[in-house]
Amino acid sequence: MKKILLLVMIILLSGQGMASETISDPIQALVVIPSAGFDEESFQMVVRELTSYDITWTLAGPDPDGQLISDREVQSLDSISDMITNETAIIIIGGSDMSSLFSSEPLTRILQNASQAGSICAGIGNGTLALANAGILNGVKVSVPDEKNRVFLEQSGAILDQAEGVITDTIITAQGPASAQTWTEIIVREIIAREITNNLGVLYLGDQENGKSVYVIPERLRSAVVSGIREGLVRDTWAGESFGIPVLNTSVQIPVRGDWILTISPDNNACLLYEQFTGAFIPYGSVVYIDPSLLGAKRDFSTNKVPIEGMIQDITFKDVYQNSNEYNESNRTLRNWTIEVNNTNSSVKKSVALLFDDIRIAEITWEDLTLRACIEGNGVGSGILDILKTQGDGDSSIAYDEKKIEGSGCYEVVISVNAPKGITAYLTLFGKEGDILREKEIIIP
Burial call 202-236: b when 16+ CB within 10 Å, e when fewer: bbbbbbbeeeebbbbbbbbbbbbbbbbbeeeebee
Q: Please, are residues 135 and 156 in contact by the beta-carbon 8 Å criterion? A: yes
Q: Is residue 396, in this structure, part of any structural domain at all?
A: yes
C-alpha torsion sign, points 371, 377, 380, 382: negative
Are 259 and 305 within one domain?
yes
pLDDT of residue 164: 94
Residues counted in the chain = 445
Are 214 and 172 within one domain?
no
Are 312 and 368 within one domain?
no
Are 274 and 370 within one domain?
no
Q: Determine how many CB atoms are found less than 10 A away from the CB of residue 306.
A: 11
- 343: three-class secondary structure by DSSP: coil
Are 53 and 184 within one domain?
yes
CA gap 396, 2 in Å, rounded: 11
Q: Please, are residues 172 and 165 in contact by the beta-carbon 8 Å criterion? A: yes
The answer for residues whose C-beta is within 8 angstroms of residue 363's C-beta and 6 or more apart is 21, 22, 23, 372, 373, 374, 410
pLDDT of residue 12: 19
Question: Where do runs of H (alpha helix) occur along 290-433?
Answer: 308-311, 318-322, 325-330, 345-357
Are 186 and 298 within one domain?
no
Final residue before a domain boundary, out of 331, 349, 369: 331
Kindly tell me the burial class for residue 432, based on how many C-beta atoms sit within 10 Å of its own C-beta (0-12, 13-18, 19 or more).
Answer: middle
Are 56 and 165 within one domain?
yes
Q: What residue type is 32 in one-letter code?
A: V
Q: Is residue 415, in this structure, part of any structural domain at all?
A: yes
Domain coverage including residue 395: 3-21+358-443
Q: What is the pLDDT of residues 134-178, one digit of tens each?
A: 999 999 999 998 888 899 999 999 999 999 999 988 899 999 999
Q: Is residue 320, in this structure, part of any structural domain at all?
A: yes
Q: What is the mean pLDDT of each run of 10 residues along the chain (445 residues)?
A: 20 23 53 92 96 91 84 88 74 91 93 86 96 94 90 93 91 95 94 89 90 88 83 84 85 90 87 90 89 84 76 74 82 88 63 65 56 54 46 51 57 56 58 57 58
CA gap 279, 137 in Å, rounded: 32
Q: Please, are residues 62 and 422 in contact by the beta-carbon 8 Å criterion? A: no
Are 188 and 49 within one domain?
yes
Are 190 and 247 within one domain?
no
Q: Is residue 399, in this structure, part of any structural domain at all?
A: yes
Strands 409-413 and 436-443: unpaired
Are 284 and 226 within one domain?
yes
Q: Determine how many CB atoms are found less than 10 A away from the CB of residue 190.
A: 20
- 45: three-class secondary structure by DSSP: helix
Final residue before a domain boundary, out of 179, 194, 209: 194
- 327: three-class secondary structure by DSSP: helix
CA gap 325, 98 in Å, rounded: 41
Beta partners for 418?
A: 3, 397
pLDDT of residue 412: 63
Q: Is residue 139, in this structure, part of any structural domain at all?
A: yes
How does DSSP classify residue 232? Answer: T
Q: Please, are residues 9 and 410 in contact by the beta-carbon 8 Å criterion? A: no
CATH of residue 118? 3.40.50.880
Between the alpha carbon of residue 216 and those of residues 197, 269, 284, the distances in Å are: 11, 9, 8
CA gap 443, 445 in Å, rounded: 6
Are 206 and 173 within one domain?
no
Are 233 and 138 within one domain?
no
Q: Is residue 338, in this structure, part of any structural domain at all?
A: no
Q: Is residue 339, in this structure, part of any structural domain at all?
A: no
CATH of residue 15? 2.60.40
CA gap 264, 248 in Å, rounded: 9
Q: Please, are residues 263 and 288 in contact by the beta-carbon 8 Å criterion? A: no
Q: What is the pLDDT of residues 271-302, one digit of tens each?
A: 999 999 888 898 898 888 898 888 888 888 77
pLDDT of residue 199: 87
Final residue before a domain boundary, out of 315, 331, 347: 331
CA gap 140, 157 in Å, rounded: 8
Q: Is residue 314, in this structure, part of any structural domain at all?
A: yes
Q: How many domains does the chain have?
A: 3
